[in-house]
Amino acid sequence: MGENRTDYQRRRRRRIPIQYEQERRMRSQDDGYYRQKQMEQEMRMQEEQRRKLGARMQRNRQRQMEMRRRRRRNEILLCVVLALILVGAFGAAKLYASLQTWQGRAEQSDFVATADASSEVEDTILNVAVFGTDGDGFRTDVNMVASFNVTEKALHIISVPRDTRVTMTDEMISYLEQNNRTVPRANGVYGQCKLTEVHAYAGEGNRNAFSVAMLEEILGIKIDYYVKIDLDAFREIVDAVGGVEFNVEERLYYSDPEQGLYIDLYPGLQVLDGEKAEQLVRFREGYAQKDLKRIEVQQEFLKAFVEQVCSSQTILSHLDSLIRIGLEKTETNMPISTALQYAQYATQLDLTQMTMDTIPGEGGSYFDMDEEGTKELIAWRIYGEEPPQDVNMLTENTVSGQTTTNG
């Protein structure tokens, strides 16, 4: 017989044994404990993952920041390099243009004088003709040869008076005739004139070549290069070094409105600026010996100038101005490489071995040189041979070892 509803309900209400109830509760508690542990472990794992992720993100951010800093540094460095390149290129272009202008300023002469082969001794000597021109540049008021002995580091300067009587060589006369130019004549001698006039008779494009050839002829030496400087450049060079301290021996006054020449100097030790220095070296009318005395004063001033300029401090402090004036205001056929090669000797000059001489002779309207005495002077000063037997012809000036040769 089947179970009725009442029996079923009774059976359902039957009490569960206590031990089973306790086991169930314990299992429930254990399940809760394990779930809690599992959740805590999961939370710790998630936290560890977040920490590792945060560390990676931090490292990534640091790397990105470092890369940005490096990029900025590289960009800054690149800008600096580009700026330096641009400045260097501009400076080099400007210097190159100046050098090209300097070298391009040298006259392109088609007159070539016959040259003797150089000797072994001459290979160690650099002879440079120095010309100082008047206002129009047609005549040479200053004619010097600066001879530098590379081995001895010694500088010798030989002055030739502007009024020296000269006779042009056959080559020079022939060139003038072929080019329909005037050939000078003085005292019935074809081709004769004053040294200062050679520059004018040569004509444009050949002035320096003729003057160099004339100096080579009368002095018997080989001249390597020439340097020509006008009065404007002279004034600027003196001003560039801050003036030159010089002792003016006597009152100098002269006025010539037609030439625009005004000289007014008082005696005494003083610093001459460019304008006053020009007055000093151009004065001659008040001297008894005229051009000879002027050359002596020019040599004394040049000596003072060289002593002041050839110090390392002066050269470095005025280097920019001297280079600018040298490039802009002077004319020379000396290559820039040669100029730089010899510039290094400027501070090595032995000023105690520096000499300044004027060729011997007698002056008047013309200065007539003593040819034999001039040969002996050249052999002694430039080529280092024994001094002349008649050494009395040299008047020793005790100032800084300078020697002035007078007739």
Query: Per-domain residue ranges for the chain?
Result: 122-405
Question: Which one is predicted more confidently, 198 or 33?
Answer: 198
| For residue 335, pLDDT beyond 60 | yes
pLDDT of residue 43: 82
Chain centroid to Cα 176, Å, comes to: 38
What pLDDT digit, counting tens, does each position of 187-198 carry?
Answer: 999 999 999 999
pLDDT interval class at 88 (50, 70, 90): very low
Structure tokens at 166: 């000269």
CA atoms within 13 A on the CB side of 14: 7
Domain 122-405, classified CATH 3.40.50.1980, yes or no: no
pLDDT of residue 363: 78
Structure tokens at 362: 């007698």
| For residue 342, pLDDT beyond 90 | no
What pTM, to 2 d.p., does this model score? 0.65
What pLDDT digit, counting tens, does each position of 195-237 carry?
Answer: 999 999 998 889 999 999 999 999 999 999 998 887 777 888 8
pLDDT interval class at 169 (50, 70, 90): very high
404 and 358 Cβ atoms separated by less than 8 Å: yes
| For residue 276, pLDDT beyond 80 | yes
Q: What is the rounded CA–CA span in Å between residue 308 and residue 318?
A: 12
Q: Which amino acid makes up residue 225?
A: Y
| For residue 96, pLDDT beyond 70 | no
Element containing residue 373 per DSSP (H, E): helix 371-381
Where helices occur in 310-347 by DSSP H, the ranges are 312-317, 319-329, 336-343
Least confident of 70-79, 221-230, 280-289, 391-400: 391-400
The SS3 of residue 265 is strand
pLDDT of residue 331: 84
296 and 404 Cβ atoms separated by less than 8 Å: yes
pLDDT of residue 346: 66
| Angle in degrees, CA 160, 161, 165, rounded to 5 | 95
Alpha-carbon dihedral sign for residues 372, 282, 401, 233:
negative
Pairing status of strand 125-133 against strand 140-149: antiparallel
pLDDT of residue 359: 93
